[in-house]
Chains A and B, each alone.
Chain A
């Protein structure tokens, strides 16, 4: 008898992680979680939509489409041959059973085409759909642009819809709150002017337990570089600041952080289409560095902030390229390693996989630098497929995660394709994902959790801090 029992146990199928993801997705279908997408409520959107009038809608839409946009937008609309070749580029489409309404061109049809066809005379309900498409169904990750034979910039078209939505006052509540914070405090998280230097001092103290001479040089004029972070660092992930301080100190860097507003490089206003606020925030960021007369700005591990300081903010302010050299920490770490300024005492004991932040690959081609550093730190990088400049977005980017809790389930379910990618890695025995972007961490954490993937996420800085030689450390 006991024999049979043992046999039954042995015959119990062991699910691979990929199978687990599929099972979970099926369950989500059965539970109606996908169907519930249609019923999501958001105070910011719903109250805004209730205030719309036909005149305001038409005037705003046409004001942006005819006033702010020009030939480029018109040419994209006229050139698109409706071939659908961009569809397979988009994780929203792939993750939602290839529902055509989530394909990149499908989303343009549901927004810009509709606006043009109706000469801006949308119903409030159609405006609601437009903002939902633009803010929650597209990460502006630009993958589709790499798959369209004409190179049509769908992210630009969707950004324009966000701009229209912003002007209509129908932006999702959570992200609008962070944009308001930018506008009022010049940082994303309502960090007060005195809280910021306090936090730096606190982190300096923390770091001194390990490295007694550690300083976080504040407002040091003429330093080699200014280090800037996103406001969620002082708010939620403070240890990253002392980690960075330790790395820079032990690598012998001449660096500083600003005391005044401008220290935050993040940018939610860019993602809500509030370009006026974006411009003010970016100007302050560049200016604070210029006042400190540093040679360049090195920024922390964030994707969207890099896009904003390297690619978008500068243009709004009339600078062809940023008025001061901008370096993402991926590139900076790679340089420190190449110059032999960081020595490792250890290597991470496992192989890892690398999730490329869209904004550092399609925004700056930093995939090789990222792998160079990750390979030095670990037993090697195993590639997801697709990866590097063809990576799938984590579905947090483009401000989608910042639209907050109402949209969380939709966001996670709309990236089942990423879960599958990760599950394949997990099935190959890879337990750790390295990703140099805060948003990607947020998005991937949720996916890992939802699909039960049990993987760990690391920043490059986490690994460097953990594994580097620290001659200045006590003990």
Chain B
């Protein structure tokens, strides 16, 4: 067990970070260079002003028409995404590990209680997404096995983290599983649908540019 812990808390952390970073850079680079090669018009019509307005409208709940029409989905999506971004970066445990580990830097942490709530928000969000996939016909029709795998990849580090924090189950095991699942998630980001974290800016921005700059109309 200790060997497992040492592996996931030591070398694997660095491997995961490296793959995440290099993978993400590769993803963005191939996106941009591929676009330059064959879809150059994306750059031609790109308008930062419209793109930024659109990011704001789509990232704040109830600012877009569709978000107003889907209030529950909007709240769940917003909370889950907020948790996914905040918890890994602003949890005390993570900051301490990184500071001691290599970065030598630290930053403000969320109070444990808040981080815990945020983690549960992610878990609840994922359950809600899974429920939609199983129950709503229009979502079920386009859902495949891999969509559930993605949800599992996301929920795992938050669930194990919350369990470790509350002392549920064997602590060392939970902590190790938490680290492993976190590493899996990091690695998965550039290579799976989780890459929407990177490509969102591209698809949203291009649509906003076309709608705003050429067609003189909002895309929200």
Residues of A within 8 A of B (CB): 69-72, 74-76, 78-79, 81-85, 87-89, 93, 98, 100-101, 103, 105-106, 109, 145-153, 311, 315, 320-321, 361-365, 389-390
Contact = CB atoms under 8 A, between A and B. Distances in A.
Contact of B195 (A78, A82, A93, A106): A78
A313 to B, nearest CB: 14
Contacts of B217: 361-365, 389
7 contacts: A69-B38, A72-B206, A78-B199, A82-B147, A85-B66, A149-B64, A320-B45
B143 interface: yes
Contacts of A81: 147, 193, 196
A100 B141 contact: yes
B177 to A, nearest CB: 26
Contact of B215 (A71, A87, A311): A311
B102 interface: no
A70 B37 contact: yes
Contacts of A93: 138
A79 B202 CA distance: 10
A105 B137 CA distance: 12
A364 B140 contact: no
Contact of B41 (A105, A146, A315): A315
A85 B67 CA distance: 9
- Majority secondary structure of chain B interface residues (helix, strand, loop or mixed): helix
B142 A82 contact: yes
A78 B194 CA distance: 9
A147 B219 CA distance: 8
A137 to B, nearest CB: 14
A103 B66 contact: no
A98 B140 CA distance: 13
Contacts of A103: 138, 141-142
Contacts of B142: 82, 84, 100, 103, 105-106, 109
Contacts of B44: 320
B41 to A, nearest CB: 7
Contact of B39 (A70, A84, A88): A70
Nearest to B139: A84
Residue of B58, B137, B203 contacting most chain A CB atoms (<10 Å): B203
A79 B219 contact: no
Given A70-B34, A70-B38, A98-B137, A75 B199 contact: yes
Residue of A78, A83, A320 contacting most chain B CB atoms (<10 Å): A83
Nearest to B218: A389
Interface residues of B, number: 52
A76 B65 contact: no
Nearest to B144: A82
Contacts of B200: 79, 149-150
A152 B203 contact: yes
Nearest to B192: A78
B113 interface: no
Contacts, number: 131
B3 interface: no
Residue of B30, B77, B129, B139 contacting most chain A CB atoms (<10 Å): B139
Contacts of B203: 75-76, 79, 150-152
A146 B219 contact: yes
Interface string B27-64: 00011001101110110110000000010001000001
A311 B216 CA distance: 12
Given A84-B142, A146-B219, A151 B204 contact: yes
A75 B141 contact: no
User: Which 8 residue pairs are nearest across A and B when measured between Cβ atoms?
Assistant: A70-B38, A151-B207, A71-B34, A100-B141, A365-B217, A365-B216, A84-B139, A87-B138
A354 B206 CA distance: 30
A75 B215 contact: no
Contact of A145 (B133, B144, B207): B207
A157 to B, nearest CB: 12
Contacts of A150: 196, 199-200, 203-204
B216 A71 contact: no
Contact of B202 (A75, A146, A149): A75
Nearest to A362: B217
Interface in B61-103: 64-66, 69-70, 73, 77
A337 to B, nearest CB: 20
Contacts of B42: 72
Nearest to A145: B207
Given A84-B136, A151-B54, A362-B211, 14 more contacts: A75-B199, A79-B196, A81-B147, A101-B141, A103-B141, A106-B141, A149-B58, A149-B66, A150-B199, A150-B203, A151-B206, A320-B44, A362-B217, A389-B218
A38 to B, nearest CB: 17
Contacts of A101: 141
B4 interface: no
A78 B193 contact: yes
Nearest to B203: A150
B22 interface: no
Nearest to B216: A365
A30 to B, nearest CB: 23
Nearest to A366: B216
Contact of A71 (B38, B58, B64, B133): B38
Contacts of A98: 137-138
Contacts of B129: 83
B156 to A, nearest CB: 18
Contacts of B35: 70-72
